[in-house]
Amino acid sequence: MITVESLSKSYGSFVAVDDVSFTARPGRVTGFLGPNGAGKSTTMRVMVGLTAPGTGEVRLLGRRFADLPDPGREVGVLLDASAQHAGRTGREILTIAALTMGLPRARVDEMLERVSLTPDEASRRVRNYSLGMRQRLGIGTALLGNPEVLILDEPANGLDPAGIRWMRDLLRDFADQGGTVLLSSHLLHEIEVVADDLVVIGNGRIVAQGTKEELLAGAGTLVRAADGAALATALGAAGITARPTSGGAVLAEADLTRVGQTAFAAGIAVTELRAADGAGLEEMFLALTAESQRETVNHTSTTEGAAA
Protein backbone atom coordinates (compact mmCIF):
# COMPACT_ATOMS: atom_id res chain seq x y z
CA MET A 1 0.00 0.00 0.00
CA ILE A 2 1.06 3.58 -0.69
CA THR A 3 -0.29 6.35 1.56
CA VAL A 4 0.29 10.01 0.71
CA GLU A 5 -0.80 12.44 3.43
CA SER A 6 -0.94 16.24 3.07
CA LEU A 7 2.15 16.32 0.87
CA SER A 8 3.45 19.69 -0.28
CA LYS A 9 6.66 20.71 -2.02
CA SER A 10 7.79 24.16 -3.16
CA TYR A 11 10.77 25.45 -5.10
CA GLY A 12 11.14 29.06 -4.08
CA SER A 13 7.80 30.72 -4.78
CA PHE A 14 6.66 27.91 -7.09
CA VAL A 15 4.38 25.32 -5.47
CA ALA A 16 4.94 22.03 -7.30
CA VAL A 17 2.78 19.87 -5.01
CA ASP A 18 0.04 21.41 -2.89
CA ASP A 19 -1.53 19.42 -0.02
CA VAL A 20 -1.78 16.13 -1.93
CA SER A 21 -3.37 13.11 -0.22
CA PHE A 22 -4.35 9.74 -1.71
CA THR A 23 -3.96 5.99 -1.22
CA ALA A 24 -2.94 3.27 -3.67
CA ARG A 25 -4.23 -0.08 -2.45
CA PRO A 26 -2.96 -3.65 -2.83
CA GLY A 27 -4.51 -5.72 -5.60
CA ARG A 28 -5.29 -2.63 -7.67
CA VAL A 29 -3.70 -0.46 -10.34
CA THR A 30 -3.92 3.22 -9.43
CA GLY A 31 -3.59 5.64 -12.34
CA PHE A 32 -1.93 8.95 -11.44
CA LEU A 33 -3.10 11.36 -14.13
CA GLY A 34 -2.26 14.93 -14.97
CA PRO A 35 -0.89 17.14 -17.75
CA ASN A 36 2.83 17.84 -17.99
CA GLY A 37 3.96 19.96 -15.07
CA ALA A 38 0.99 19.05 -12.87
CA GLY A 39 3.13 17.62 -10.03
CA LYS A 40 3.16 13.88 -10.80
CA SER A 41 6.92 13.40 -11.07
CA THR A 42 7.67 15.55 -8.04
CA THR A 43 5.21 13.52 -5.96
CA MET A 44 6.78 10.26 -7.08
CA ARG A 45 10.32 11.50 -6.41
CA VAL A 46 9.26 12.34 -2.85
CA MET A 47 7.79 8.85 -2.50
CA VAL A 48 11.14 7.17 -3.14
CA GLY A 49 13.34 9.59 -1.23
CA LEU A 50 14.89 11.44 -4.18
CA THR A 51 13.25 14.73 -3.18
CA ALA A 52 12.61 15.88 0.37
CA PRO A 53 9.01 16.87 1.10
CA GLY A 54 8.17 20.35 2.30
CA THR A 55 5.33 19.16 4.51
CA GLY A 56 3.39 15.91 4.84
CA GLU A 57 4.66 12.39 4.32
CA VAL A 58 4.53 9.28 2.15
CA ARG A 59 4.44 5.75 3.53
CA LEU A 60 5.13 2.62 1.51
CA LEU A 61 4.02 -0.59 3.21
CA GLY A 62 3.59 1.47 6.36
CA ARG A 63 7.08 3.03 6.35
CA ARG A 64 9.00 5.86 4.76
CA PHE A 65 11.08 4.67 1.80
CA ALA A 66 14.30 5.48 3.71
CA ASP A 67 13.20 3.20 6.57
CA LEU A 68 12.51 0.13 4.44
CA PRO A 69 15.04 -2.60 5.40
CA ASP A 70 15.53 -3.81 1.80
CA PRO A 71 13.90 -1.27 -0.57
CA GLY A 72 14.62 -3.13 -3.82
CA ARG A 73 12.83 -6.22 -2.57
CA GLU A 74 9.84 -4.25 -1.33
CA VAL A 75 9.34 -1.40 -3.80
CA GLY A 76 10.12 -1.51 -7.52
CA VAL A 77 10.73 1.91 -9.05
CA LEU A 78 10.99 3.25 -12.61
CA LEU A 79 11.10 7.03 -12.83
CA ASP A 80 13.34 7.66 -15.85
CA ALA A 81 14.24 4.90 -18.30
CA SER A 82 16.90 7.14 -19.87
CA ALA A 83 18.86 7.38 -16.61
CA GLN A 84 20.48 3.94 -16.99
CA HIS A 85 24.26 3.70 -17.43
CA ALA A 86 24.72 4.03 -21.19
CA GLY A 87 28.07 2.20 -21.24
CA ARG A 88 26.84 -1.02 -19.62
CA THR A 89 24.86 -3.80 -21.24
CA GLY A 90 21.34 -4.60 -20.21
CA ARG A 91 22.54 -7.85 -18.63
CA GLU A 92 25.23 -5.99 -16.64
CA ILE A 93 22.70 -3.51 -15.27
CA LEU A 94 20.38 -6.28 -14.09
CA THR A 95 23.31 -8.31 -12.70
CA ILE A 96 24.60 -5.38 -10.64
CA ALA A 97 21.09 -4.77 -9.29
CA ALA A 98 20.68 -8.46 -8.45
CA LEU A 99 24.01 -8.61 -6.60
CA THR A 100 23.13 -5.42 -4.70
CA MET A 101 19.89 -7.06 -3.52
CA GLY A 102 21.54 -10.39 -2.73
CA LEU A 103 19.68 -12.22 -5.49
CA PRO A 104 21.02 -15.21 -7.45
CA ARG A 105 22.35 -14.54 -10.97
CA ALA A 106 19.68 -16.88 -12.32
CA ARG A 107 17.16 -14.17 -11.49
CA VAL A 108 18.71 -12.00 -14.23
CA ASP A 109 17.89 -14.53 -16.95
CA GLU A 110 14.37 -14.93 -15.59
CA MET A 111 13.81 -11.20 -15.74
CA LEU A 112 15.28 -10.76 -19.22
CA GLU A 113 12.83 -13.36 -20.45
CA ARG A 114 9.95 -11.76 -18.56
CA VAL A 115 10.50 -8.37 -20.18
CA SER A 116 11.18 -9.92 -23.60
CA LEU A 117 14.77 -8.78 -24.07
CA THR A 118 16.58 -11.34 -26.23
CA PRO A 119 20.13 -12.58 -25.44
CA ASP A 120 21.43 -10.41 -28.28
CA GLU A 121 19.63 -7.33 -26.94
CA ALA A 122 20.79 -8.06 -23.38
CA SER A 123 24.42 -8.06 -24.59
CA ARG A 124 24.17 -4.62 -26.23
CA ARG A 125 25.30 -1.39 -24.58
CA VAL A 126 22.37 0.61 -23.31
CA ARG A 127 23.48 3.55 -25.44
CA ASN A 128 22.36 1.47 -28.41
CA TYR A 129 18.91 0.75 -26.96
CA SER A 130 15.74 2.32 -28.25
CA LEU A 131 13.57 4.09 -25.67
CA GLY A 132 11.19 1.13 -25.73
CA MET A 133 14.04 -1.28 -24.91
CA ARG A 134 15.16 1.00 -22.07
CA GLN A 135 11.61 0.95 -20.72
CA ARG A 136 11.61 -2.85 -20.76
CA LEU A 137 14.97 -2.92 -18.98
CA GLY A 138 13.74 -0.39 -16.43
CA ILE A 139 10.61 -2.41 -15.74
CA GLY A 140 12.77 -5.53 -15.41
CA THR A 141 14.98 -3.76 -12.85
CA ALA A 142 11.90 -2.66 -10.91
CA LEU A 143 10.54 -6.23 -10.85
CA LEU A 144 13.87 -7.92 -10.13
CA GLY A 145 13.48 -8.10 -6.35
CA ASN A 146 9.92 -9.43 -6.52
CA PRO A 147 8.56 -6.33 -4.73
CA GLU A 148 5.09 -5.79 -3.27
CA VAL A 149 4.78 -2.25 -4.69
CA LEU A 150 5.51 -0.84 -8.15
CA ILE A 151 5.94 2.90 -8.78
CA LEU A 152 6.22 3.66 -12.48
CA ASP A 153 6.43 7.11 -14.09
CA GLU A 154 5.31 7.12 -17.75
CA PRO A 155 6.43 3.51 -18.42
CA ALA A 156 4.64 3.34 -21.80
CA ASN A 157 6.82 6.05 -23.37
CA GLY A 158 8.63 4.62 -26.37
CA LEU A 159 6.72 1.34 -26.43
CA ASP A 160 4.99 0.27 -29.63
CA PRO A 161 1.36 -0.93 -29.50
CA ALA A 162 2.43 -4.52 -28.82
CA GLY A 163 4.74 -3.30 -26.05
CA ILE A 164 1.99 -1.24 -24.47
CA ARG A 165 -0.29 -4.27 -24.48
CA TRP A 166 2.50 -6.35 -22.92
CA MET A 167 3.06 -3.77 -20.18
CA ARG A 168 -0.65 -3.50 -19.47
CA ASP A 169 -0.97 -7.28 -19.08
CA LEU A 170 2.12 -7.41 -16.86
CA LEU A 171 0.78 -4.73 -14.51
CA ARG A 172 -2.65 -6.34 -14.40
CA ASP A 173 -1.09 -9.68 -13.48
CA PHE A 174 1.07 -8.03 -10.79
CA ALA A 175 -1.97 -6.39 -9.18
CA ASP A 176 -4.10 -9.53 -9.47
CA GLN A 177 -1.47 -11.33 -7.41
CA GLY A 178 -1.91 -8.79 -4.61
CA GLY A 179 0.66 -6.17 -5.58
CA THR A 180 0.18 -2.41 -5.42
CA VAL A 181 0.74 -0.48 -8.67
CA LEU A 182 0.99 3.30 -8.99
CA LEU A 183 1.15 4.23 -12.65
CA SER A 184 1.75 7.80 -13.75
CA SER A 185 0.82 8.71 -17.31
CA HIS A 186 -0.72 11.25 -19.64
CA LEU A 187 -1.69 8.47 -22.10
CA LEU A 188 -5.30 8.59 -21.03
CA HIS A 189 -6.65 5.75 -23.13
CA GLU A 190 -4.06 3.36 -21.71
CA ILE A 191 -4.88 4.33 -18.12
CA GLU A 192 -8.58 3.92 -18.86
CA VAL A 193 -7.96 0.32 -19.91
CA VAL A 194 -5.72 -0.85 -17.05
CA ALA A 195 -6.49 1.30 -13.98
CA ASP A 196 -8.91 0.37 -11.20
CA ASP A 197 -8.60 3.68 -9.38
CA LEU A 198 -7.77 7.18 -10.63
CA VAL A 199 -6.06 10.14 -9.01
CA VAL A 200 -6.20 13.29 -11.16
CA ILE A 201 -3.80 16.15 -10.40
CA GLY A 202 -3.66 19.65 -11.85
CA ASN A 203 -1.51 22.61 -10.79
CA GLY A 204 -0.11 20.50 -7.95
CA ARG A 205 -3.49 19.76 -6.39
CA ILE A 206 -5.73 16.69 -6.50
CA VAL A 207 -8.80 17.64 -8.50
CA ALA A 208 -10.52 14.23 -8.50
CA GLN A 209 -9.99 10.71 -7.20
CA GLY A 210 -11.95 7.50 -6.90
CA THR A 211 -12.63 4.39 -8.93
CA LYS A 212 -12.82 4.84 -12.68
CA GLU A 213 -16.53 4.02 -12.60
CA GLU A 214 -17.23 6.55 -9.82
CA LEU A 215 -15.49 9.39 -11.63
CA LEU A 216 -17.11 8.72 -14.98
CA ALA A 217 -20.56 8.21 -13.44
CA GLY A 218 -20.29 11.51 -11.61
CA ALA A 219 -19.21 13.50 -14.64
CA GLY A 220 -22.72 14.89 -15.37
CA THR A 221 -23.73 15.87 -18.91
CA LEU A 222 -21.60 16.32 -22.00
CA VAL A 223 -22.89 19.05 -24.28
CA ARG A 224 -21.24 20.41 -27.42
CA ALA A 225 -21.79 23.53 -29.49
CA ALA A 226 -19.90 25.49 -32.13
CA ASP A 227 -19.06 28.12 -29.48
CA GLY A 228 -18.13 26.16 -26.37
CA ALA A 229 -17.12 29.27 -24.42
CA ALA A 230 -20.52 30.90 -24.95
CA LEU A 231 -22.20 27.67 -23.96
CA ALA A 232 -20.21 27.44 -20.74
CA THR A 233 -21.01 31.09 -19.96
CA ALA A 234 -24.73 30.51 -20.48
CA LEU A 235 -24.72 27.44 -18.25
CA GLY A 236 -22.78 29.30 -15.57
CA ALA A 237 -25.26 32.17 -15.66
CA ALA A 238 -27.99 29.62 -14.99
CA GLY A 239 -26.18 28.37 -11.90
CA ILE A 240 -24.82 25.22 -13.54
CA THR A 241 -21.16 24.38 -12.94
CA ALA A 242 -19.65 23.84 -16.39
CA ARG A 243 -16.10 23.08 -17.51
CA PRO A 244 -15.03 23.61 -21.15
CA THR A 245 -13.02 20.70 -22.56
CA SER A 246 -12.15 20.52 -26.25
CA GLY A 247 -13.82 21.02 -29.62
CA GLY A 248 -16.64 23.08 -28.17
CA ALA A 249 -17.52 20.40 -25.61
CA VAL A 250 -18.56 21.28 -22.07
CA LEU A 251 -19.03 19.04 -19.04
CA ALA A 252 -21.96 20.30 -17.01
CA GLU A 253 -22.97 19.24 -13.51
CA ALA A 254 -26.68 18.96 -14.26
CA ASP A 255 -29.05 16.53 -15.93
CA LEU A 256 -29.72 16.39 -19.67
CA THR A 257 -33.05 18.20 -19.54
CA ARG A 258 -31.81 21.20 -17.58
CA VAL A 259 -28.67 21.58 -19.71
CA GLY A 260 -30.67 21.34 -22.96
CA GLN A 261 -33.28 23.84 -21.79
CA THR A 262 -30.59 26.31 -20.69
CA ALA A 263 -28.81 26.14 -24.05
CA PHE A 264 -32.13 26.57 -25.89
CA ALA A 265 -33.08 29.59 -23.77
CA ALA A 266 -29.70 31.19 -24.55
CA GLY A 267 -30.23 30.65 -28.28
CA ILE A 268 -27.21 28.33 -28.58
CA ALA A 269 -27.48 25.51 -31.10
CA VAL A 270 -26.35 22.24 -29.49
CA THR A 271 -24.67 19.63 -31.69
CA GLU A 272 -24.32 16.96 -29.01
CA LEU A 273 -26.07 16.29 -25.72
CA ARG A 274 -25.58 13.11 -23.72
CA ALA A 275 -24.76 11.68 -20.33
CA ALA A 276 -21.07 12.17 -19.63
CA ASP A 277 -20.59 8.65 -18.30
CA GLY A 278 -20.25 7.62 -21.92
CA ALA A 279 -17.93 10.46 -22.82
CA GLY A 280 -14.83 8.58 -21.74
CA LEU A 281 -11.95 9.43 -19.50
CA GLU A 282 -10.40 11.96 -21.86
CA GLU A 283 -13.29 14.44 -21.68
CA MET A 284 -13.37 14.16 -17.89
CA PHE A 285 -9.61 14.60 -17.66
CA LEU A 286 -9.56 17.64 -19.92
CA ALA A 287 -12.37 19.24 -17.95
CA LEU A 288 -10.84 18.62 -14.52
CA THR A 289 -7.39 19.85 -15.53
CA ALA A 290 -8.43 22.59 -17.96
CA GLU A 291 -6.69 25.32 -15.95
CA SER A 292 -3.37 23.46 -15.86
CA GLN A 293 -3.09 22.43 -19.49
CA ARG A 294 0.29 23.22 -20.98
CA GLU A 295 -1.15 25.73 -23.42
CA THR A 296 -2.34 27.95 -20.56
CA VAL A 297 0.29 27.28 -17.88
CA ASN A 298 3.43 26.56 -19.86
CA HIS A 299 5.78 27.78 -17.14
CA THR A 300 4.59 25.07 -14.77
CA SER A 301 5.94 22.26 -16.97
CA THR A 302 9.26 24.04 -17.40
CA THR A 303 9.66 24.69 -13.68
CA GLU A 304 8.78 21.19 -12.58
CA GLY A 305 11.05 19.67 -15.22
CA ALA A 306 13.93 21.74 -13.90
CA ALA A 307 13.05 20.83 -10.31
CA ALA A 308 12.86 17.13 -11.07
- Evaluate whether residue 301 is within a structural domain: no
- Evaluate whether residue 290 is within a structural domain: no
Short-list 205, 154, 223, CA closest to 38: 205
Domain that includes residue 239, residue range: 220-278
Q: Are residues 52 and 173 in the same domain?
A: yes
Sheet containing 55-60: order of strands: 14-24, 2-11, 55-60
Q: Are residues 105 and 202 in the same domain?
A: yes
Q: Are residues 72 and 131 in the same domain?
A: yes
pLDDT in tens, 221-252: 888 898 888 898 999 999 998 877 666 788 88
- Evaluate whether residue 283 is within a structural domain: no
Q: Are residues 156 and 254 in the same domain?
A: no
In the chain, how many domains are there?
A: 2
- Evaluate whether residue 121 is within a structural domain: yes
The per-residue pLDDT for 300 is: 39
**CA–CA dist 98, 104 (Å, integer):** 7
pLDDT in tens, 121-180: 999 999 999 998 999 999 999 999 999 999 999 888 888 888 888 989 999 999 999 999
The per-residue pLDDT for 303 is: 44
Distance set, CA 79 to CA 44, 52, 157, 183, 206 (Å): 8, 16, 11, 10, 20
Handedness of CA 17, 28, 167, 165 (dihedral sign): negative
Q: Are residues 251 and 187 in the same domain?
A: no
Q: Are residues 194 and 238 in the same domain?
A: no
Q: Are residues 39 and 180 in the same domain?
A: yes
- Evaluate whether residue 300 is within a structural domain: no
Q: Are residues 62 and 180 in the same domain?
A: yes
Q: Are residues 126 and 226 in the same domain?
A: no
Q: Are residues 25 and 144 in the same domain?
A: yes
Q: Are residues 20 and 152 in the same domain?
A: yes
The per-residue pLDDT for 284 is: 65
- Evaluate whether residue 298 is within a structural domain: no
Vertex 151, ends 87 and 33: CA angle to 5°?
115
The dihedral formed by the CA atoms of 79, 85, 89 and 94, expressed in degrees to the nearest 10: -50
The per-residue pLDDT for 222 is: 82
Q: Looking at the whole model, is its pTM more than 0.85?
A: no
Q: Are residues 42 and 131 in the same domain?
A: yes
Low-confidence ranges of the chain (pLDDT < 50): 294-308
